[in-house]
Amino acid sequence: MNEKIAVYPGSFDPITNGHVNLAERALVFFDKIIIAVAYNPNKAALFSVEERVDMIQMATKNDPRITVASFNGLLVEFVEKQGASVIVRGLRALSDFEYEFQMTLMNRKLNRKVDTVFLMTGFKWFYTSSKIIKEAASLGGSVRGLVPEIVHQRLKEKYPLYRNVP
Ligand code: PNS
């Protein structure tokens, strides 16, 4: 039987419950989801790629159908190397659309065999993003419940004001 594999790429700096929810929902359509953390030298990150991979592994360890990897270079090349032909991305508000549209068309231009499917972010997580999580946490605001427990704990090591947030 041919396994249906999809790659769910992103920065995941850090992973949120919205991301985890999206990966779980994508498993309705695919046998295996590879969460792929991109090395992006042009984007300053709070967590190293290794730290991000580690947190994602912990947050998804209960489901063996989800695996975690990192990649350098072109996403479509990584997708092909994994034996996949589908990229999964989440869509939140309208503001995501233009960027996602551009990326999808560029990826299609680069490799006609790879296509992108979108899932709407779960209603509960519509206003959650890694960026807003970092902003709140950096100022000492609790993001517990919006991110996996391991992320809540690791944020304490990054932000002095977050250290004592229960
Ligand atoms: O979570 P993000 O930051 O929106 O994810 C963006 C990501 C990692 C999916 C995108 O930057 C990407 O695919 N990077 C790999 C480089 C690449 O293939 N670029 C060409 C397609 S636009």
Pull the structure tokens for residue 25: 């929902």
Residue 11 Cβ inside 6 Å of ligand 1? The answer reads: yes
In a domain, 151, yes or no: no
Residue 91 has pLDDT above 70, yes or no: yes
Contact 69, 76 (CB under 8 A): no
Residue among 40, 52, 87, 132 whose CB has most ligand 1 atoms within 8 A, to mutate: 40
Per the structure, the complete domain to which residue 68 belongs is given by: 5-126
Tell me the C-alpha distance between 16 and 18, whole Å.
Answer: 5
- Beta-bridged to residue 94, according to DSSP, are none
74 CB less than 6 Å from ligand 1? yes
Residue 101 lies in a domain: yes
139 within a domain of the structure (yes/no): no
Q: Is the pLDDT of residue 1 over 70?
A: no
Distance, CA of 164 to CA of 166 (rounded, Å): 6
CA 107 to centroid of ligand 1, rounded, Å:
9
Work out which ligand 1 atom sits closest to the CA atom of 12. 1
Number of domains within the chain: 1
Question: In which band, very low, low, confident or very high, does the pLDDT at 60 lie, cut at 50, 70 and 90?
Answer: very high
- 8 A C-beta contact, residue 88 and residue 26: yes
66 inside domain: yes
pLDDT higher than 70, residue 129: yes
Q: What is the CATH number of the domain that holds 48?
A: 3.40.50.620
Do the domain assignments include residue 157?
Answer: no
The atom number, within ligand 1, closest to the CA of 73 reads 16
| Candidate from 75, 92, 98, 110 with most ligand 1 atoms within 8 A of CB, to mutate | 75
Task: Answer whether residue 160 is part of any domain.
Answer: no
Give yes or no for a contact between 70 and 38, defined as CB atoms under 8 angstroms apart: yes
Contact status, residue 12 vs residue 35, Cβ threshold 8 Å: yes
Q: CB of 104 within 8 A of CB of 116?
A: yes
Confidence of residue 126 (pLDDT cuts 50, 70, 90): confident
β-pair type (66-71, 32-38)? parallel
Please identify, by atom number, the ligand 1 atom nearest to the C-alpha of residue 76: 18
Does the residue 140 lie in any domain? no
